[in-house]
Amino acid sequence: MNLRDHKIYRIQEIRELTESAFILRFDRHGLNFMAGQHILIGLEGSSELREYSVYSGEKDDFLEILVKEVETGMVSKQLKKLKVGDPVQVESAVGFFRINKEDIDKKLLFIASGTGIAPFHSFIKSYPGINHTLLHGIRYSHEAYESESYEDFRYISCVSKDQKGVFKGRVTDYLKQNRIEENTLVYLCGNSDMILECKDLLEEQGISNESIYTEVYF
């Protein structure tokens, strides 16, 4: 049957990005996924699993996720405590937040808040040469997770609480001040308030709902 299969993966590498955000790398174990999909992860033997977008690329021989520890949370705190070599259980990839084959050559706008940048990192690594712009909404400029991995002219950090962003203000402020080209496909990922506000602003600019794809984290 279509049982949800759990497999045990061991942590190969941990990259601390900020005090609360980190990247976990695992062996790929042949896991199939399409950029934009997420996996479910939890401690070995636990019934508490959470969704994490795959951060790494489709062709990488490892699997990575980008996690932010949530103060009031559970699994993100457990993941934060793990060390290299520790086991986690992983369920296979799932999700419809993907770039359709026929859209790959179109103009793409990626809008993320916080760790919502993870699927976009995977898109960009998986499909080199895609015509994209990435807006990253963060509070402080040090939360521009691995921003050096993106082409400068394509990555726009929108920083609301310090002055060091490429754009000073929230992604919604950016949208108010910048016109999005017609025929752009827009992908939104992160918290639902940001997504809802952006959708309204995009609609005002004439971007239709059919051209907008969303992935809500919380």
Contacts with ligand FAD, residue ranges (CB under 6 A): 38, 50-53, 65-68, 70, 72-77, 114-115, 118, 215, 217-218
Segment 51-70, which members bind another protein (CB under 8 A)?
Answer: 51
| C-alpha torsion 65→4→76→160, nearest 10 | 60
Give the Cα-Cα-Cα angle 28, 123, 8 (nearest 5 degrees).
Answer: 20
Q: Would you count residue 214 as binding another protein (CB under 8 A)?
A: yes
The listed partner (another protein, ligand FAD, none) that binds 114, CB under 5 to 8 Å by sort, is: ligand FAD
Segment 76-105, which members bind another protein (CB under 8 A)?
Answer: 92, 94-96
User: Which C-beta is closer to another protein: that of 156 or that of 202?
Assistant: 202
- Which candidate, 183, 188, 94, 179, places its Cα nearest to that of 136? 188
In the structure encoding, which two tokens stand for residue 149, read together? Answer: 């991995």
Segment 3-22, which members bind another protein (CB under 8 A)?
Answer: 3-4
Q: Would you count residue 46 as binding another protein (CB under 8 A)?
A: no
CA dist., res. 3 & res. 200, Å (int): 39
User: Which C-beta is closer to ligand FAD: that of 187 or that of 217?
Assistant: 217
The residue number with the shortest CB distance to ligand FAD is 73
